[in-house]
Every structure is written in structure tokens, then in C-alpha cells.
Structure 1
Amino acid sequence: MRTIPAPHRRGLLAAAGVAAVVVVAVVAAAGDVYAALGNPVPGPLTSLGSSLLRLVADAAGVVCVGGLVFAAFLSPPGEAGRLSPDGYAATRTAAGAAGVSALAAAVLVPFDAADASGRPVSEALHLAKLAVLVDAMEEPKAWLCVLAVAAVVAIGVWRTLTWRTTVLWLGLALVGLLPRAIAGHVSIGAWHDLATNALVWHVIAAALWTGALVALLVHRGSGAAGEVALRRYRRVATWCLVVLAASGIVDGLALARPAGLVTGYGLLLGVKVVITMVLAALIAVTRRRSSGGTAALVAEVMVLAGAMGVSAGLAHLVPPAFVDDPATVGETVLGYDLPDPPAFARLFLDWRPDLLLGVVAVLAVAGYAAGARRLRNRGDDWPRGRFWAWTCGWATVLIATSSGLGTYSSGTFSLHMVIHMTLAMLAPVLLVLGGPVTLALRALPVAGKGPDGPREWLVALLHSRFTRLVAHPLVASVVFVGSYYALYFSGLFGEAMRYHWAHQLMNLHFLVSGYVFFWLVIGVDRPPRSMPHLARLGMMFAVMPFHAFFGVILMNKQAVIAETFYRYLSLPWMPDLLSDQRLGGGIAWATGEIPMIVVVVALLVQWGRHDDREAARLDRRFDQGEDDDFAAYNAMLANLAARRQ
């Protein structure tokens, strides 16, 4: 294992010290933050201990992500998909950091439960009391999720040797950073829907940037490989800076509001703004230094450590919005109120942006347009129909999630079913007709003799076992239709509607499961397993009855699904929940069957065109004196003759 250069080692230790000092200073200066919530002071051990442990858990999770990013994308891989020596060393660091994160999360369960309830941690260490506190609070549950994910990642990464497996563990490690973030302050009160979405981007960008920088300082080699790692890191840092700045503004305004910017909470937000400006200057310095800019990189990691300490300190404070602007019932549940019925103008003109799927939609269209333009600039053609299919698909997603339809779908079951069918049936059909993978493979440059790039990464992921499993026809069909019954008829839907993150996860599941299913049926991109058109048609006919039965069951169901949630929300213009649910069942039946019929027609058209092309190919071969059957017969005779000899 490579020895860490002395300047890098001293810089990392100094960065850890800076983060710890910032946390201690914020907690000490904040004083009694528990009175605003009506809780007693639990004591310095609990308040300071929980903040420092939170810093340790977050920092360890970030280092784990950074090690996996370095191994998968910054360090050029070895032969046959194996990790390079530098990448392998980075995975060892990632595994150790995941173990530290799991241990810190385990200790944080009683500490966070005690801190949130205003009790000394000694009381929370009793199992009976701890079970009660964990059951009543969301953050201790979030730390249990972090513990589980970090433990799995630590064990899995320790056995990882290949690039594909490293990428899968990286995805899981990023997911493991989110439970604690989305269960914190951003999940409470007015505008928590926007704040939660923005924080997801914020956490991912901060982890990628900080973790990649730490891994670069620890594992970066010399020569060409080191230059490649540095160059790729600079690109990552630039994009992460943009995401951090934009998402930080949204979260700051949601939690502090303009009036709270003059408080101590607002002062810390101002410190983060200054830190962002300093980081922008440091990135500019490192970009101009082709030799690596060691001093600038060390300074950068220290500034990022200060930002992490400020974030941990902010988690200890009470946001001004909680005190100055108490939330209504609608704002507590949804993040906003729905005082008026869903008139036509409100559904299509009253927009509330979805900062997750909405941003993804805009970026996906922009990236697709850039790829199509690259093909045209080099003289290649790309069908305009595919471009418009892709654009209309993401426009459908944007309208479904960010317009008034998406806003009201959280309060009414019928409009929720409209969004469900749109994301699961309509948008995926348009997206798979766009052929994004085919476009990417044609537009992205080939690495050649140089280190693997985005095109090679995409090819490797398409041929991975995970992709082959997800894209298996049986798995895709069961997930696509079976999730309807599992979600709505098991009580899971009522639980999921209580949390904004769960609602977002539902939307994402609808879109992804629909995309995978229709990718296999009518997609332009070639799936991992080639299927004849007859098998594709069989998939459609196998799924259609189950989808129709689902709508019929909803229309005839006598009990209200998620009744507790809708009763608690208590919208004045929605008195009859059962009638609205039956309307939703009718929408599920009608809007589901019509796209299915359209897909069947499109599949038959594709089948006919494929047969026409195959017939034309055979005619050309026959005209040239070639015949596949005759050639196969001759090959068989030659094989028999060779065996006799």
C-alpha cells in the first residue's frame, strides 16, 4: 500500500481538526436550543457527543463514497475489468470507512434519541426506553438504516475486485448517505418537499466532491495515471460546486426564510456562502496548475472540512422557520396547503417544481440534444422522431411531477392514479422509443488505447449481471405489474404517503419499472437478451389481464386505501374518499388499457417492418448467388467430410 505523502497526511489531519473545532464552537455558542422545542437540556455529553458522532458518521460515509469513486472513475482500471492497484487500495479505504460509519451510526441511535427528546444519554441506553424513543422519532430510525447499509457495503466492498461490482457498491453507498439527511430538519414544516429534494442533490454532490478529494490525496499515483485522476477530479469538483451552490440556496431559504437570515442560523448559512466562494477560487487555481497544485488541494480539503463542520453544527440548531412560521396541517404533511379544489387552471398553471425528477428531465433532454448535435456535426444522421419521442417523454414527466397535477396528486387518490399511470405507462413508452443508449454509444468517443471513458463504462454496465437480472423478461413483468398489488393492497401506500421521500421513491419506481418493461417490448435500444417479436407480444398479453383486474378491484373495493392519511389531511373539498378512490380505479383501468393497445399496435408494426427488412436482405443475398440454407447444407457436408478424415 502506498505511503501517504507527508503534506497530504498533515493536511487531512488538520482538516479533521478543523471540522471538529467548528462543531464544538457551534454547539458551545448555540447555548440552550432545546427550550424552543419545549425540551429540557440533556447535558453537554449528549448534545456535544451527538454532534461529534454525527460528524464522524457523515465523514466516514463521505470517505467511503470517495474511495469507490476513485476506484471506479478516477483511477484507470486494470486488465479484464479488474481494478488497478491504486483502485484496489482505494476500495480497502472505502471498506474501512464504511465500517467506521456503521459503528458511529450504531452509537448515534441512543445519542440522537436522547438529544432529540432532551434526555441524558444514560436514560436512552436502557433498551426499553430506547425502543420507545426510536419508535416515536424518525432520526434514530434513519441511523438504523445507515447502520444496515454501511455494514453491507463494508462487507461487500472488502471482497470486491472488479469494476462493475465497485460501481454497484458505490450506488448503495450513496443511498446510505440519504436516510439521515432526509429525516432531519428538511423533512418538517412548510416547503419541506422542495427542501428535501434539494438536500438530496446537496448531500450527493458534497459526498462526491469531498470523498473524491480525500481519495485523491491518499491514493493518487504518479505519472499518466495520476494526471488522469487529477483531470477527472477537477471535472467532478466543478459540477459539484454548481450543484452545492444551487441546492444550498433552496435549503437555506426553506429553513431560515428571509427573516431568519439575521439570526445565528443565518450567520452560519452566510459562512457556508463564503466557503462556497473560497472553494470556487481554489478550483480556479487548481485548474490552472498542470502539475497538480498540492498546496491548493490541501487547502481545498480543509475548507471542505470546515463546511462539513458547519453542516453538522446546523443540524444541532433549531431552524428559524420552526419558531417564526408554524406549519399548518397541510404544510406538515405535504409541505404546502391545498385550500381550493383542483380546477382546470390550477392543474395546468399552478406549478411547484419537482427538484428531483424535474431537474433530471431537463438534464436528460439537454444531454440527448447534445449527443444528437455531435452526430450531425460529424455528418451522421439521427432520426428526428426519436428526438421528439425522448423530449415528449421527459416533458410528460415534468408536467406530471411539477405542474398542478403533481401538486394535487398528493391530496387526492384519483389524481395520484393519473400521475401513476402517466409515469408508468405513457412516459416510458415515449422514452424507450428515443433510443438513448444507442445514441450514447454512437455519440460518445471511443477510449482506444487510453483509459476507459464514459462509453466503456456504459458498455460494461449494460453487460453486467445486475442489468441482465433487472432486464430479465420475467423479472421485469412481475415488478411492473406485481408492484401495483403490493403497493395498494398491503397498506404500504398509506405508510408511504406520510413521507415526501417515500412519495418520490414511488414516482421513481413507476418510471423505472415502466421503462424497463417497455424497453424489452418495443424499445429501440438492444436489451441484454434478444427476444423475438412473438415473445414480446406474449409479454404484453400476459400483463394486460393483471393490469385490467387491478383497475376493476379498485373500482369495487369497499374500504378506503390510506384512509388514515387522507382523514388526517382532511381536505374540505374532498368529502367522499370512497367515490374518489373508485374514480381512481376507473382511471387506472382506462388509461392503462389504452396505452397497452397502442403498444401492441406499435409492436406489430415493428414486427412487420423487421420481416420486410429480413426479406429484402435475403433477396439481396439470393440475387448475389448466396443462399443461407444452401450455405448451411454445404457447411454440414464439409463438417462431415472433415470428421471422416
Structure 2
Amino acid sequence: MSALSSDPSAGPASSRPSATGSSSAGPSWATWCAALGFPLLGILVGTLGLFFTGAAFPQLVGDSGVLGRFGLPAARFVFETAAAITAAALVLATFVIPRAAPRRVRHKDRKQSSAAGGFEGDGESDVELDRGWLAAIGVAQASSVVWTLSAAAVLVLTYVDVAGSQAYSGDLSAQLAYFVSSLNVGRYWTFIVVVVAFVSTLVFALRSFAGIATAMVFSFAALVPLALMGHSTGAEGHTTAVNSIGLHLVGIVLWLGGLLVLALIARSLTDRTDLRTIVERYSALALFSFVLVVYSGFVNASLRMGSLADWTTPYGVVMLVKLALTLVLGGIGFRHRRSVIAGLGAPTAGGAGRGATGSAGRGASAPETGPSARGAAPRRLFWRLVGVEALIFGAVMALGVVLSRSQPPVPDEPPPAPTPAEILTSSPLPPRPSWGTYFTQWEWDPVWVVVAVGLSVAYVYAFLKLRRRGDAWPVLRVVAWVLGMVLLFWVTSGGPAVYGKVVFSGHMIQHMLIVMVVPIPMVMGAPITLLMRAIAPRRDGSRGFREWILILVHSRYLRFFAHPIVACVNFAGSLVVFYYSGIMQYALATHLGHELMMLHFLAAGYLFAQSLIGIDPGVNRFPFPVRLLMLLITMAFHAFFGISIMSNTSLIEGDWYGNIGHDWGFSALEDQQTGGEIAWGIGEFPAVLLAIGVAIQWTKSSEREAKRSDRAADRDEDAELRKYNAMLSRLKEHDDSM
């Protein structure tokens, strides 16, 4: 593991300093601490830590020399710092800092922008970009170059560390080629180098909102191999360890990287009247990241510390110091939120007083509204706290590198004599499955725990915000959403997750629940509608979660997959493709494949339920009779799928389920037939619920239509009825005349 993955352009509103002459002192302090203090303290603490844990001393056999013992940790420190700065700068440019002052777009301009493949305010060449936004992109450009070079250096030095003394003999190019093509660690680092270079290219080439957001997504994709390399495959708790490392990565990037970027672009932000708004947005991300870092660090430490005595080892002492410094950083962040941010000025919705600059560096005029003397002291204190935070973070990052180079008390190695279940699943064989064990056996998946708990908290917070504002929101929707999150937590971390890896029937239970049961209460909660009502739209030229989610919901790609016919085909067809094409092997044997399987089937089930009973935007739903027909056809296909598994006489993924090594009184083929029965049986109950939901919505729609007709009749005194009666009279007269 590493520090990231270890245990856990013209000016502002006024480019002149304020009347007090002190506004520049704070930013200068923060910038120097980030640019010089952070790396210097990191080098000092890291070197001391390597000697304290013994990682700096030569190994008796196969020592990789100075390059391996000191060069690799130094390269990792640079790599991880550059990764955090690049990704965080892109996050700030995507979610926090206004890209440009908002402007009205004429209908003609909007049509031209659409014809060019863009959308309003996203790619026009004449838009004057905000100085702070350009400064963040400039930091991302510089750090992405460092990130690319340091990734290549880490690749070579990792080979030196793995090869040991043999790295200095023989044909280096041939040995390095073998390393990057044949060993997993070499492949992972090669992938990282390629993705990081691609991110750097995007940052230099693009200036649109969508382009920078794309670069941000790829910057986080480059971190995935770090999590996968952070724990040995085959060692116990592999899933928990890898996912906790991944969460640690995200938390450190958002928290540390965002802090360093703010410090580096401080001079572009300090005199802005919307500084408080920007800091509040970052502070919310930092608070989430702090919780993420502490939680993931605790989970990871529980895997590496077997007893209290382990905390007295050099590894344990370093971890305790790292934890203490993390808590100090959390305390500084708490002071930011409680004592300092309020003094930065009033929060602004429109970013008044921001300067802007064009893409060619042209200055735009703006009112000179620098900070008042009253606000100078809080601003100076804020930037000094940022500088102190940056210094402490240098030590935390270095200690993370030290931990990645040190041997933990609980070895990160597979057991010496693993059972078949441990070889395949990296976990001991659980007890024989029963109704009780499905609720008593747990293997927490930290990522899905964060998803379930985080979305529950966010939903309840939005609900309470509406209630405080005096707006109504049905309590049953809150209950439905929380119920869906509880089910999601159990399916991904409880008995279905434990037994899904060892018996086919357990896998089918987990699969059917995630695709058919969990999405129903989620759709009933109407989260997108709640989001639109609870969060006000931004009007300062930036985009928050509300804006990005609505862009995704209304994008042509998501609308295609949300189309009722496509959703039905995806829902039913994915089952056949998954179980009969061999893809299931990747979901069983690889960690990333399993997580992607869960995400795909949760999304497929959600879109299918959304097309039938949802009320959120983004779906062109069919009339109610057609919805019931779609449900009937899909469920009939699902029943035939279950029957096909029941009647199958050959094992699906027999190399896995046939060699798991249990002795529970039934064969793998009998268990597979049981799984087919489960696939057939579980589908009946959700189908009934969906049919009832469609019927209820149909009834309510008919009632609303009847009330609308009654109101229209009251307004025009039954004109439509009189017209209809007159038509009948004319028809009768016509018949009588014949």
C-alpha cells in the first residue's frame, strides 16, 4: 500500500491588496507551505520513518539497493502528491469554482452550440473564463506532467524493487519488458502510466465543462490499480482490504489534493467576494473526505492489527502517529467550519465581484470590491490554517509511504496451507447455509456500506431541509428509500454476499435481490425529484451535484438506456448473457468484475422499475396498459430463464462451484438446480409489487383526469357534453329521415 492507499485569468474582483495591506500575507504563507514546506517535511518525516521501521536497512537476500530502499519511496511520494493535486484540481474545476460568469445565450447561439456538439455555456470560444478556474486548470496541467513522469519512474523502480539484486545484471530492457507484460504488478503500473498520460493530454487539450469532467473521471480511474495492488490476492479479507484502500484513495485525493490546490491558487482567490462560497463547497467535500479517511483507515487497520500488542510494534507506532495527525487535521477543518468561514464574507449565489479572463488571457473589467478591513483578519487566519494543514499533510503522506514499505504485524500473505475455498475466495468456508446463517454471516464491503449509509443520510438531510422550509414530502417515500438502502447493505455485505461466492444458489439469491427487489423501494423514493426540490440551482457559472446529475439524467445516452423497451431488454437479456457467455467467471474470480456486476444489475433493475412505476424525470414512460403488458412479457421471459437453469444438466462455472470444497450434503449440480428455482420464485413477488404499483398509478391518473374534466365542465358549463348530445341528435334525425 501507499500513502494514498495505506492503512488507513485576469484578476479577482480586485487584483489590488485590501486597504489593510495584509490580505496577501495569508495567501503567500499558504502557497509557500504547499510548494516548499509540504515536500520538505514529507522527506524528513519519511526518511526518519523508514529508518524507524527498518525499511531503510539493506535486506540480507536480494536487496534492491539504494534505488529500491530510498528511490522508490521518494518516487511514490511525488507520484501520490501529484495524483492528489491533479485529481483534486479537476474536482474543484468541475464542482466548486465557477468556470465563467453566467450569461444569457440567444436562441441562435444556442442552436449553433448544439450543432457543434456542445451545450449552453460549455464550449463557446468567446466565453471569458474565471481567473480562479483557469488557475486550477493550470495547477492540474503542471501536476499532471509531474504525475506522468513520476508514474514512469515508479514503474521502473518497482521493477528494481521486485527483481532485487538481479535488476542490476542481465539485459535490463528485456527484463523490464517481461515485468510489464507478464507480472500483474507490472501490468497495473503500465496501465497507470498510460491513463495518467491520457489525463494529462485531456487537461492540456480541453477547456469545456464536459471535457474537464471527463479528465476528472479518468484521473480517478488511474487510482483503481493502486487499490487492487494494495492487498495480496488470496490473503484473508481481500475484498474488505481492497475496497477500504479505494475509499482511502478517494478521501485523501479530495481532502489533501483540494487543500494543496487552494493553497497554490490562493492569490487568485483571496480578494474574491465569493471566497466564502468556494471555501464552503470545498469544506463540505473535506468533511466527507475526513469521515471517509477515518472509516477506511479503521477498517484497514483492523485487518493488519491482530492484538493490542501489535500497536507497540514500529508499524503500529507509525500508524498511531499517522492517526493522531489525521485527527489534528480534522480539528483544523472543524475550526474552519465553526470559526473562520463565517468571517470570510456573506455567501454568494451568483459569484458577484469575480474577475474573469478570456481564453487568450484578456482581462475583463469588474467592480473593485476587495475584502473590507473587517474581513481581512479572518481571511488571513484562514490562509494560515491552510498552510499549517498543508505542512501536516506532508508528514501524513510520508508516513503512508513508510507504512507501504513496512511489514504489518498481520502478514499480508495467503495462508501457508489454504483450503479450496480460501484459494478461490480468499476467505474461509462459512457454515452450512440456512435461513439463520443468511442473517448472521457478514463480510462487509466498505464501498457499498458507504454508498448505502451515505445515500440514506443525504436523502434524510434533503427531506429535513424541505420540512424546515415548509414544503411537503411524503414520509412513505423516505421509508421506502431507507428500506432500499438497508436491503442494499444486507445484499452486499450480509449472507447473500458471503454465500454468493461459495454456492450457486447463494449467488442467485444475491443476484435476484440486487436486480429485482432492491431497486423497487429506491424508485419509490423518487431521489431525483427530491434532489431538484431540496437543492437550489447554481447561478454563478459553476455546476454542483444537482446540475451534473440533471445533465446525466437528460443526456441522450442515459435516456437511451432508460427507454422502456431498452430497459426491458437490458433487464432480461443481461441475465442470459451473464450466465451463458462466460462473463460470470470474471465476476467470481476478479474483484473489479464482481463490483461491476453488482453495479450493472442494480442499474438495470433500477431503470426497469423506473420505466414502470417511477416518477423521476428522464424516462418517456408508456401508457399504463402497455406497462402492464411489458411487465408480463418480461416476467414470462424471466420464468423461462429460471426453468432453463433448473433443467440444465451441465454446471455453470463448474471450475468454481464444483471445486469449492464444501461437504454440505448436496452436489454442485443439485445446488444449481436450487438456484434456478430461486430465480423463478424470487421473481414472482417483485412482479406482483410492480403490477400493484402500476395499477395504483393508473387509478390515480384516472382520478386526476376525471377531476380535470369536471373542472373544465364547470368552466364551460358542460360545452363538451352539449356538443356530444347535439351530435347524437343529428344522427337520430338522420336515421329517422331514411
**1:390 counterpart = 2:390:** no
Task: Specify the code of the residue in structure 1 equivalent to 2:185.
Answer: E
Deviation at 1:2, TM superposition (A): 7.4
The structural deviation recorded for 1:414 is 0.8
C-alpha distance in 2, partners of 1:469/1:352? Answer: 36
Q: Please say if 1:282 is aligned against 2:328.
A: no
Letter in 2 for 1:272: K
Of 368, 378, 392, the residue aligned with 1:303 is 392
In structure 1, how many angstroms separate the alpha carbons of the residues matched to 2:718 and 2:200? 58
Q: Is residue 2:42 matched to residue 1:42?
A: no
Residue 219 of structure 2: aligned partner = 173
Tell me if the contact between 1:190 and 1:332 (Cα under 8 Å) persists in the aligned partners. Answer: no
Deviates further, 41-50 or 414-423: 41-50
- The 5 A counterparts of 1:24-423 are 24-28=47-51, 30-31=53-54, 40-78=62-100, 79=102, 80-82=120-122, 84-118=130-164, 120-121=166-167, 126=172, 129-130=175-176, 132-134=178-180, 137-185=183-231, 189-220=235-266, 221=269, 222-258=271-307, 259-287=309-337, 288-289=339-340, 290=343, 291-292=378-379, 293-322=382-411, 326=415, 328-329=418-419, 330-331=421-422, 333-423=424-514
RMSD: 3.5
C-alpha displacement at 1:456, in angstroms? 4.3
Which of 581, 589, 604 aligns to 1:513? It is: 604
Distance 1:323 1:227, change over 3 A: closer
Give distance in 2, aligned partners of 1:124 and 1:523. 65
Cα 1:255–1:531 change in 2 (3 A) is same
Work out the CA distance in 2 between the residues paired with 1:535 and 1:252: 54
User: Shift of the alpha carbon at 1:206?
Assistant: 0.7
SS in 1 for 2:305: helix
Shift of 1:159: 4.0
CA–CA separation in structure 2 for the residues paired with 1:348 and 1:21: 49
Q: 1:414·1:587 contact (CA, 8 Å) conserved in 2?
A: yes
The residue type equivalent to 2:303 in the other structure is A
Indicate if the aligned counterparts of 1:16 and 1:305 stay in contact, CA closer than 8 A.
Answer: yes
Return the offset for 1:265: 1.4
Q: 1:379 to 1:532 in 2, by over 3 A?
A: same
> Could you give the per-residue CA deviations for residues 573-618 of structure 1, whole angstroms, max 9, x where no partner exists?
3762222222222322332354235424532442343233224323
Q: Is the CA contact (8 Å cut-off) linking 2:296 and 2:446 kept in structure 1?
A: no
CA distance in 2, matches of 1:461, 1:417: 31
Greater CA deviation, 140-149 or 455-464? 455-464
The one-letter amino acid paired with 1:523 is G
Q: Is the 8 A contact 2:94 2:212 kept in 1?
A: yes
Which position in structure 2 is the counterpart of 1:639?
none
AA of the residue aligned to 2:76: R
Contact 1:68 1:166 in 2 (8 A): yes
Name 1:635's counterpart in structure 2: none
Question: Quick one: higher RCO (CA 8 Å, sep 6+), 1 or 2?
Answer: 2
Aligned to 1:640: none
1:612 aligned onto 2:703: yes
Unaligned runs of 5+ in 1: 631-645
CA distance in 1, matches of 2:582, 2:414: 33
| Contact 2:230/2:242, CA 8 A, preserved across alignment | no
State the alpha-carbon separation in 2 of the partners of residues 200 and 380 from structure 1.
38
Greater Cα offset, 449-458 or 214-223: 449-458
Task: Give, in whole Å, the separation in 2 of the partners of 1:593 and 1:431.
Answer: 19
Partner of 2:727: none
Q: Structure 1 or 2: larger helix share?
A: 1
| Residue of structure 2 aligned with 1:14, choices 20, 37, 62 | 37
Question: Is 1:191–1:331's contact at 8 Å kept on the other side of the alignment?
Answer: no
> d(CA) in 2 for partners of 1:452 and 1:129?
48
Q: Is the 8 A contact 2:232 2:413 kept in 1?
A: no
Change (3 A) 1:153 1:131: same
Bigger radius of gyration: 2
CA apart distance, 1:348: 1.4
Distance change (3 Å), C-alpha of 1:166 and 1:115 = same
**Aligned mates of 2:555, 2:487 — CA distance in 1:** 30
Q: In structure 2, the residue corresponding to 1:320 is in which secondary structure?
A: coil
Alignment deviations for residues 231-270 of structure 1 (CA, whole Å, 9 cap, x no partner): 2222322332222122212212212322432222112202
Preserved CA contact (<8 Å) 1:494 1:564:
no
1:518-597 paired onto structure 2 within 5 Å: 518-529=609-620, 531-533=622-624, 536-537=627-628, 539-540=630-631, 543-544=634-635, 546-566=637-657, 569-573=660-664, 576-597=667-688
**Deviation at residue 180 of structure 1 after TM alignment:** 1.0
Give the equivalent residue in structure 2 for 1:637. none
Pairing 1:603–2:694 present? yes
Deviations 1:185-216 (A, max 9, x none): 37552233322232222111111011111221
Residue aligning to 1:641: none
CA distance in 2, matches of 1:349, 1:89: 53
Amino acid at match of 2:42: A
TM-score (structure 2 length as normaliser): 0.76
Matched residue type, 1:231: E
Whole-angstrom distance in 2 between the partners of 1:135 and 1:559: 35
Tell me which amino acid in the other structure corresponds to 2:74: L
Q: Is the 8 A contact 1:63 1:97 kept in 2?
A: yes
Secondary structure of 2:487's partner? Answer: helix
Of 17-26 and 217-226, the range deviating more from structure 2: 17-26
Shift of 1:32: 6.3
The 1:449/1:226 distance shift into structure 2, 3 A limit, reads closer
Structure 1 residues 539 and 457: alpha-carbon distance in aligned structure 2, compared to 1, 3 A threshold: same
Moved more, 318-327 or 299-308: 318-327
Q: Given residue 220 of structure 2, which amino acid in structure 1 is its aligned partner?
A: L
- How far apart, CA to CA, are the structure 1 residues paired with 2:57 and 2:590? 25
Matched-pair contact (CA < 8 Å) for 1:34–1:41: no
Instruction: Return the alpha-carbon distance in structure 1 between the equivalents of residues 573 and 44 of structure 2.
Output: 51
By how many angstroms is 1:415 displaced? 0.6
Distance 1:628 1:117 in 2: 90
Contact 1:110–1:140 (Cα < 8 Å) also in 2: no
Q: TM-score, normalised by structure 1?
A: 0.86
Distance apart, 1:67 and its partner CA: 0.7
> Structure 1 residues 314, 413: closer, same or farther in 2, change over 3 A?
same
Q: Which moved more, 1:295-304 or 1:495-504?
A: 495-504
Distance 1:359 1:9, change over 3 A: closer
Separation in structure 2 between the aligned mates of residue 243 and residue 111 of structure 1, nearest angstrom: 30
Determine if contact 2:234/2:414 at 8 Å carries over to the other structure.
Answer: no
Deviation at 1:272, TM superposition (A): 0.5
Task: Tell me, in whole angstroms, the C-alpha distance in 1 between the residues paired with 2:458 and 2:289.
Answer: 17
Task: Name the CA distance, whole Å, in 1 between partners of 2:216 and 2:84.
Answer: 11
Offset of 1:528 from its aligned partner? 5.0
